[in-house]
Structure formats: structure tokens, C-alpha cells
Amino acid sequence: EFFDREHINRVLLLSDGIANVGPCSNREIARLGHELAKQGRSVTTIGLGEDYNEDLMTALAEASDANYYYVADAEALPGVFENELGELQSVVARGLVLEISFPEGVEPLGILGRGESIEKNRGRIAFGTLAEGQDREIFVACRVKPGPVGEKAMTLASAKLSYEGATGEGIEKTSEVSVKSIDDVGLAEQSRVADITARAEIYRNAAATEQAIALADAGRGDEAKSQLTSQIAKLREVQSAAPAAAAAEIEREIGVLEESQSQLDADGFSKEGRKALQWNSFNRRNAKQLDKTAP
């Protein structure tokens, strides 16, 4: 009834229980989210307390490229609405589509932490809106066929970003990423960008977290604990060389993993531990800014 293509269309869904009317499975909910996104609508989901289904709430928000909040205490709700309204009032672009293509000799292995696939060396990622001052990151892992040493730079990937600007105009931007082949291992290590290495590991951690949750849900608590321990070790490894901002981010990630690990037993995570872990993973996978609304 209130849909308007000239405006930002977002629904805020607040739940403190389990869905028992309409779509109830993750697949159905995700399909609904994708259909809404195609229509220019997004659904921010807000889970209140410990008794709602976080899998459904994250599936709907993720599929429609909106936000998801885990609110353990109702007193945090005003902050959630403040965040949402502030974001909506500062939207500078919408209908964003990022298309990435890879030349022969470059094998894309996947988009870190995200579900979109890359087929025939082409990937497409759609975002709903972008607010002023907001950053969205995409990390793609690739395997590159060695080229001639000392030759000109080879293109790793080409990207095109198309979107609708604040005044409704269509905008396109393109960019390329290139590298040179060298045979000096030491020089190759020196050229590694510590900040990028650290942030890439954070995105890998988000995907690994989902695996740990799945293991715990299947009653394989010991394996889930081992998974979390492995994640913490990998984060510690890159943290030592990371710049201050990234190192602080990694420390926060480690804190979330350790807290969730302490709430994991043979029967799985506690309700609070599972929700906190998945909320953190959602924000990382979708390059969303973490805020004070978590428990």
C-alpha cells in the first residue's frame, strides 16, 4: 500500500518469538527476501530476547540486503531505531550492482564470507542502498597462473559498479586490479598489505563461524570448539602484523569467539551465545558496521 519507487522502501520487522504463520523455513524466507529486493524493498529484522529464530531473521535481512539486530535487552531498542532512521535519511545511492570479471589465467575461488557464486569467471553482487559515509567491502580469493617475470602488469580483475544516485541519475564506475610477476619470495612478502591480509582473515572468520554453529547444532560440540580454537589461532597470527585499527577489530572478533566458546557444551551453544555469534557473523559477511546494540 505504501510502496513508492521514488522513495526508499524499508520494512522493520520486530520479533520475540517463532514464526508460525506464512513462510517458516530458511529457504522460503530467503526467497521472500530476494523477491522483495528485486521490487526495491528491504526488510530490517530485529530479534528481541532469546526466544526468536535467528536463522530466519538473518536469512530475510541478508536476502533483502537490510540490517539485522540482536537485541538482548529492550532498553537498546531506541538505539536500533535511531540507527535505522539515521541510515535511511542519509542514503546517497541505491540499486547498487557490482559486476566483477576475471581474465584467462585467473581462477576466482569465491567471495569471502558471502553466498554469491562466481560462474564462468563472472560475479554479480547486488546491494540495496548506501548511506553517506558507509563502506561496503568485498574480498575475492583467486588463484593466479604465474606470468612472465618482469613483464608488464597483468590484470587480476575488472569491476563495474552501477547505481542510482541521490537525485535519481544512473551512474557507472569501472576499475581494474593489476599485479606484476616476480621471482623474489622476500620481495613478494614485503609487498603484502598487512591491513588487507588482516581484513580478509576477518571475512574468512565469518564463514568459519557459520560452520562452527552448524557443527554445534548437529550435536558435535567438541568439533565446534576445535573450529573456534582454530579460528582464534588464525586471527592471532595475522593480528601481530596488522595496523592498529585492524588489530583492534581482530581483538574484538577474538573476544566474541572466546565468549561464545565458553557458552558451548555437548548440547550446543546457549541461546545467548548462538545469537551473539551469528549476529557478529552476519555483520562481517555483509560488511555492516557493528554497534552497541549487541548484548
Residue-wise pLDDT tens digits, 81-91: 999 998 888 88
What is the CATH T-level fold of the domain 9-89, as seen in this structure? Rossmann fold (3.40.50)
Residue-wise pLDDT tens digits, 127-178: 888 888 888 888 999 999 887 887 788 899 999 999 999 888 999 999 999 9
What is the CATH T-level fold of the domain 92-183, as seen in this structure? Immunoglobulin-like (2.60.40)
Which residue pairs, CB below 8 angstroms and at least 24 apart, start in 275-279? 275/47, 275/50, 275/54, 275/70, 275/72, 276/70, 277/209, 277/212, 277/213, 278/54, 278/55, 278/58, 278/70, 278/209, 278/210, 278/213, 279/54, 279/68, 279/69, 279/70
Closest CA to 33 of 52, 16, 13: 13
| pLDDT value at 115 more than 50 | yes
Closest CA to 65 of 42, 39, 46: 42
pTM for the structure as a whole = 0.82
- pLDDT level of residue 22 (50, 70, 90 thresholds): low
| pLDDT value at 295 more than 80 | no
Domain ranges of the chain: 9-89, 92-183, 194-285
